[in-house]
Amino acid sequence: MAETALHLEQVGKRTHDGTVILHDVTLTLEAGQMMALMGGNGAGKSTLLDLVCGLTTPTSGRVTIHGHPPRAAIRAGGIGAMVQGGSLLPELTVAETIRTIAALHRVPRPTLDEDLLPLADRRVGALSGGERQRVKWALAILGNPRLLVLDEPTAGMDWHSRLRFWRQVRHHRDLGTTVLYATHYADEVDGTADLVAQLEAGRLVSLATPAQVRAAGTQEVGGAGLFTGLAALAGHRLSDQKPARTEGHRS
């Protein structure tokens, strides 16, 4: 029987004024699986990931990671994360940043990935957005966590860095790491995710494999098939879709 790495049971989240951000979301992710979260801006993706990371608590329901609450899993070093809004100390160099966080994980002599070696002596404040994302990835995997939580991890990366990043993520998955990630890019789902969870207005509207999603739409491989499939599973036609509002809560 497969081990359950992550379980959300009827998880709900409201703001202080009663606005519903997540409504009764139930999800299970088995150890070693990769799940992509998709949905428009404001769908609740980032809030769900914050709950998994213990950065906030659910208004209702529960979240467990290998049977433990998120904050207990964090204390045990069981979660590595790249979240929106996570900041780095701008005055430190990349090498200093890695060493500082490695000390918290009791990693005695951290080594920089060859991808970061050219940036080792650069101050974090001088890095581009994509370069900062690469540093955050290096920090996320420092303690060899059992679960990786990634919120739009390739934002700001160029195409070469994105390809390299997903090769590294799949390598960790192949070693048994469980991965939950949010993305707007269809090419980061096909050939990568085992499952695709679609959120809309805080509700889980579909949960399927990438092949099942494509089969519900045009059945094309790649972006077109995936997006038409997601729309079909959510009960929409693409012509019905309006641009998502971006104000308010993070997605």
Residue-level pLDDT at 126: 96
Which domains, ranges and CATH numbers included, belong to the chain? 4-84+146-220+232-240 (3.40.50.300)
Residue 142 CA to residue 80 CA, distance in Å, equals 8
What value does the mean pLDDT take over residues 200-205? 95
Tell me: the pLDDT tens digits for 38-59?
999 999 999 999 999 999 999 9
Instruction: Answer whether residue 182 shows pLDDT above 90.
Output: yes
**pLDDT above 70: residue 224:** no
Of 217 and 154, which is predicted with more confidence? Answer: 154
d(CA 51, CA 30): 18
Question: Which residues neighbour 79 within 8 Å (Cβ) at sequence distance 6 or greater?
Answer: 52, 53, 54, 65, 70, 73, 145, 146, 147, 148, 149
Q: Which two tokens stand for residue 192?
A: 């990568």
Look-up of token digits 């950065």: 55
Interval 202-218 mean pLDDT: 88
pLDDT at 200 (0 to 100):
94
User: What is the pLDDT, as a whole number, of residue 92?
Assistant: 96
Q: Which residue has the higher pLDDT, 190 or 177?
A: 177
Average pLDDT, integer, range 177-200: 93
**Structure-token pair, residue 175:** 């070693």
Which residue is listed with tokens 């990671």?
Answer: 65
Query: What pLDDT, on a 0 to 100 scale, did the predictor assign at position 219?
Result: 55
One-letter identity of residue 8: L
**Residue 168: enclosing H or E segment and its boundaries?**
helix 159-174
pLDDT band (50, 70, 90) for residue 249:
very low
pLDDT of residue 222: 53
Contact by Cβ (8 Å): 197, 37 = yes
Residue 165 above 70 pLDDT? yes
Quick one: tokens of 29? 């992710």
pLDDT of 238 > 50? The answer is: no
84 or 223: whose pLDDT is higher?
A: 84
pLDDT tens digit sequence for 106-145: 766 677 888 899 999 999 999 999 999 999 999 999 989 9
Taking the alpha carbons at both ends of the chain, their separation in whole angstroms is: 34
Q: What is the mean pLDDT of residues 16-21?
A: 92
Give pLDDT, residue 80: 94
**For position 236, what pLDDT does the model report?**
60
Degrees (nearest 5) of the Cα angle 163, 168, 172?
A: 145
3-state class (DSSP) for residue 86 = coil
Mean pLDDT of 156-183: 94
What Rg do the C-alpha atoms of the chain give, in angstroms? 18
Q: Which amino acid is at 178?
A: T
Q: What is the mean pLDDT of residues 152-163?
A: 91
